[in-house]
């Protein structure tokens, strides 16, 4: 490229990086993106988006299987795994091309290759042929994301032991599967494959699944997934794997020290992620790396002046929407925008797109109490909501946690149909610092699932009108 001097160079074109570059361009800064593989990053190409396409196909299949409940009949039901995967990849490709269009529209050039710091204000880019070039920038934003964590003995081989990548593009459907890890990634794959008829066992090392969620919601999720046919083993650890030609046998250590053997066709390792901090040229800088992630403040600044870090690279929560917001905050700080507030992790919604869905924002009941808060808790079941019953999805719960002294909304937790779409309402409420009175005097439309949000607030203050 002819011009190699910029105000901002972003290393990584994922949902944090490309958003940061576009916002920089909007603010009149000269920006550039360095990307070694796919625009849109893991989220768009191998994570958030394609998995939702897969889960949508599974949801359609579930509805067809229960067509009789809605007055329809369907016979000789079958699915084409290849077409399911093909649709998922097509969705990812379409959106990746959309990112490319947006960058071009905002006049942000993309340099293909791997970028690393090469001295103050310098980025060295190595392309796929090994050729290097140097870019100059007053500010450099590291947005290189993360990769799947690998446990000793569970190293992915692409055939019997899968990461999320292999799990998204199966050539054939296994009859049985072990999913190690019950965070959002593990549970979503467990739900998808279970809906396709695979015999799924989830193995979780701690004492409950979805451990980041409120304990009550986690317990309801456990029951719902077992009812759907998923076998769940908590307080259990895979200590070894013996491979055969087209299957494997896992040795699982239980809480009491006893072991069990479980044979399955495939195993998905979903035990978390680790930041891509290697080969970034951090040596000799003041950038601090702690437990595989770069330390950055609430605006993305690292210990090295002019070097910023955002997204999965900086640690939990590992969410695309967090990365995008961090990218905007970093760029607006660079541009001198006034009145900015540092990122508040407690206001970032988390979503699991399984069947049923799980969503939350803020503190759980237990964490609120552990923080010394006196709380009021409200609950409203899906069974009491007309829209949920009409949809044929009457199982679930909306739970709210308030500060008993101030009325501050501390957290909201949901399980059930479409809760990943509902949670943003409580996210807005937290951002606006609304109280219970504000929420109780908000008029919710009827009949909608969102009414349960209102009823949950009313229940926290002994004013519930229904159920």
Same domain, 65 and 80: yes
Confidence of residue 272 (pLDDT cuts 50, 70, 90): confident
* Contact of 268 with 159, CB cutoff 8 Å: no
pLDDT score for 345: 86
Q: Beta 375-381 vs 161-162: how paired, if at all?
A: unpaired
- Provide mean pLDDT across the span 288-306: 94
Same domain, 298 and 204: no
1 pLDDT above the threshold of 80:
no
* Contact of 20 with 10, CB cutoff 8 Å: yes
* Contact of 288 with 302, CB cutoff 8 Å: yes
How many angstroms separate the Cα of 83 from the Cα of each of 48, 80, 147?
19, 5, 27
DSSP state of 300: S
Residue 346 resides in a domain = no
Dihedral, CA of residue 13, residue 14, residue 20 and residue 25, to nearest 10: 40
* Interaxial angle between packed helices 184-195 and 48-65, expressed in degrees from 0 to 180 and rounded to the nearest 10: 40
466 pLDDT above the threshold of 80:
no
User: Rounded to whole angstroms, how far apart are CA atoms 211 and 65?
Assistant: 31
What are the φ/ψ torsions at residue 462 (nearest 5 degrees)?
A: 55, 35
Residue 467 resides in a domain = no
Residue 9 resides in a domain = yes
Final residue before a domain boundary, out of 238, 271, 304 = 271
Same domain, 212 and 327: no
Structure tokens given for 291: 């437990």
Same domain, 267 and 278: no
Residue 410 resides in a domain = yes
Confidence of residue 262 (pLDDT cuts 50, 70, 90): very high
Same domain, 295 and 259: no
Residue 222: give the domain boundaries.
Answer: 161-271
Same domain, 368 and 290: no
Query: 109 Cβ partners below 8 Å, 6+ apart?
Result: 1, 32, 33, 103
Could you read off the pLDDT of 191-245 as tens digits, one per residue?
A: 999 999 999 999 999 999 999 999 999 999 999 999 999 999 999 999 999 999 9
Length in residues, the chain: 467
51 pLDDT above the threshold of 90:
yes
Q: What is the CATH number of the domain that holds 415?
A: 3.30.390.30
Structure tokens given for 241: 């794997």
Q: What is the CATH number of the domain that holds 210?
A: 3.50.50.60
Residue 347 resides in a domain = no
Q: Does 318 or 366 have the greater pLDDT score? A: 366
Residue 57 resides in a domain = yes
Cross-strand bridge partners of residue 135: 123
Structure tokens given for 130: 């090994």
- Provide mean pLDDT across the span 305-334: 95
Could you read off the pLDDT of 409-464 as tens digits, one per residue?
A: 999 999 999 999 999 999 999 999 999 999 999 999 999 999 999 999 999 999 98
Cross-strand bridge partners of residue 294: 289
Same domain, 138 and 9: yes
Residue 110 resides in a domain = yes
Cross-strand bridge partners of residue 11: 34, 142
Final residue before a domain boundary, out of 271, 295, 318 = 271
Same domain, 238 and 126: no
Domains in the chain: how many in total? 3
Same domain, 58 and 127: yes
pLDDT score for 25: 97
Could you read off the pLDDT of 385-413 as tens digits, one per residue?
A: 999 999 999 999 999 999 999 999 999 99
pTM of structure: 0.94
Residue 350 resides in a domain = no
- Strands (E) across 197-236 are located at 199-203, 231-233
Confidence of residue 168 (pLDDT cuts 50, 70, 90): very high
Same domain, 190 and 215: yes
Same domain, 228 and 371: no
Give the active site residues: 446
* Contact of 359 with 351, CB cutoff 8 Å: yes
Same domain, 137 and 166: no
Cross-strand bridge partners of residue 375: 403
């Amino acid at each position: 490229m002819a011009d190699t001097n910029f105000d901002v160079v972003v290393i990584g074109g994922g949902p944090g990086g490309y958003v940061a570059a576009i916002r920089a361009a909007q603010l009149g800064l000269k920006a550039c993106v360095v990307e070694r593989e796919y625009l849109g990053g893991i989220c768009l190409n191998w994570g958030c988006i394609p998995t939702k396409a897969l889960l949508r196909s599974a949801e359609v299949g579930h509805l067809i299987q229960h067509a009789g409940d809605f007055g329809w009949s369907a016979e000789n039901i079958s699915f084409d795994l290849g077409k399911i995967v093909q649709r998922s990849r097509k969705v990812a490709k379409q959106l990746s091309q959309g990112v490319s269009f947006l960058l071009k529209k905002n006049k942000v050039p993309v340099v293909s290759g791997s970028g690393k710091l090469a001295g103050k204000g310098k980025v060295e880019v190595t392309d796929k042929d090994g050729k290097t070039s140097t870019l100059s920038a007053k500010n450099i934003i590291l947005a290189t994301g993360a990769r799947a964590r690998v446990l000793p003995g569970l190293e992915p081989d692409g055939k019997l032991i899968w990461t999320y990548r292999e799990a998204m593009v199966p050539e054939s459907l296994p009859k049985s599967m072990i999913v190690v890890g019950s965070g959002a990634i593990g549970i979503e794959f467990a739900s998808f494959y279970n809906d396709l008829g695979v015999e799924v066992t989830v193995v979780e090392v701690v004492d409950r699944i979805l451990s980041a969620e409120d304990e009550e919601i986690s317990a309801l999720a456990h029951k719902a997934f077992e009812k759907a046919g998923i076998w769940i083993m908590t307080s259990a650890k895979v200590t070894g794997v013996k491979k055969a030609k087209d299957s494997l046998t896992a040795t699982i250590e239980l809480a009491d020290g006893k072991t069990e053997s479980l044979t399955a066709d495939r195993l998905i390792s979903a035990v978390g992620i680790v930041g891509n901090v290697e080969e970034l040229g951090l040596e000799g800088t003041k950038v601090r790396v702690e437990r595989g992630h770069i330390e950055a403040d609430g605006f993305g600044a690292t210990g090295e002046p002019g070097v910023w870090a955002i997204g999965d690279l900086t640690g939990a929560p590992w969410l695309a929407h967090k990365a995008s917001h961090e990218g905007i905050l970093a760029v607006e700080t660079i541009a001198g925008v006034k009145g900015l507030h540092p990122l508040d992790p407690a206001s970032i919604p988390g979503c699991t797109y399984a069947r049923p869905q799980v969503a939350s924002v803020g503190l759980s009941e237990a964490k609120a109490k552990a923080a010394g808060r006196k709380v009021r808790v409200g609950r409203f079941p899906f069974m009491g909501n007309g829209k949920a019953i009409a949809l044929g999805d009457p199982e679930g719960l909306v739970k709210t946690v308030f500060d008993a002294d101030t009325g501050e909304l501390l957290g909201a937790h949901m399980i059930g149909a479409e809760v990943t779409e509902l949670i943003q309402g409580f996210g807005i409420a937290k951002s606006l610092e609304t109280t219970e009175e504000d929420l109780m005097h908000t008029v919710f439309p009827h009949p909608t699932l969102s009414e349960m949000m209102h009823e949950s607030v009313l229940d926290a203050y002994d004013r519930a009108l229904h159920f």
